[in-house]
Structure 1
Amino acid sequence: MIKLITAAALMAASFQTPPAKRDEPQLSQEHTAMLRCSAAFALVSYGQANGDEAAKAWPTIDPRGREFFVRSLAKIIDDTGMTRDQVSQLAEAQAQRLLDADLLDSVMPGCLLMLDSSGV
């Protein structure tokens, strides 16, 4: 029984977000998802505007994706007290992570659902 409780506790701990670095604000799951999708929309929008065939495979992102990006970053600023520059840096880092880890195609379906449910 104790082994089962210990295993469950270890598994639960593995799903938790690691603590933020000292000067890095902790983002909620909602903010993190908004940031990830904003970055994904920016990448797809850029690709679509520049004739990238992989980006063209997705539904047309602009103008809705751009509006989602603006509203999401503004909400993160309002909710966290971060500066526009800080949030922009987080969005840029998120976009780079999506590219580096080749995750754009895996996050886009969920992001499109998020876009549809956002009312933008």
Structure 2
Amino acid sequence: MLAAQSPTPATPADEVRLTQENRAAIRCSAAFAIIAHLQSTGDESARKWPDLGPRGREFFVVALAQVMDQTGLDRNGVAQLVGDEARRLRDEGAVDAVMPACLVMLEASGV
């Protein structure tokens, strides 16, 4: 009887199929988190982008909640994907390359 009441375990992050929209939300959330952090520490390289404080956080929350709803991932699974993407963006020096498209996505989100 207890097994019937237990919640279904979340899908592991490495087993989930992401749509193009899910991947873009994860990529832009990671990029916004990186830029917002750099802006909060006064890093000169982040000054070329609009302030991402509250708006970037709101996008992060809303977009990743949608990814959770659409994929069945829990917070830990989504956090793993965003963390992996943030590392990839930093390692490849790709944050500045994705930011223009991410800012368009931010505007389109209405956040």
TM-score by length of 1: 0.80
For residues 37-84 of structure 1, the C-alpha deviation after alignment (integer angstroms, 9 at most, x for no partner) is 000000000000001101111111111111000011111111111111
Counterpart residue identity of residue 39, structure 1:
A
- Cα distance in structure 1, aligned partners of 2:41 and 2:72: 34
- Cα distance in structure 2, aligned partners of 1:88 and 1:56: 26
Q: Which has the higher contact order (CA 8 A, sep 6+)?
A: 2
Matched with 1:45 is 36
Matched with 2:87 is 96
* Aligned partner of 2:17 among 14, 26, 32: 26
**Aligned-residue identity in percent:** 53
Matched with 1:81 is 72
- Cα distance in structure 2, aligned partners of 1:73 and 1:111: 14
**Structure 1 alignment gaps of length 5 or more:** 1-22
Per-residue deviation, 1:91: 0.3
**Pairing 1:33-72 to 2, within 5 Å after superposition:** 33-72=24-63
* Aligned partner of 1:113 among 94, 104, 111: 104
CA RMSD of aligned residues (A): 1.6
- Cα distance in structure 2, aligned partners of 1:116 and 1:62: 15
Aligned length: 100
Counterpart residue identity of residue 44, structure 2:
E
| 1:51 match: secondary structure | coil
| 2:15 match: secondary structure | coil
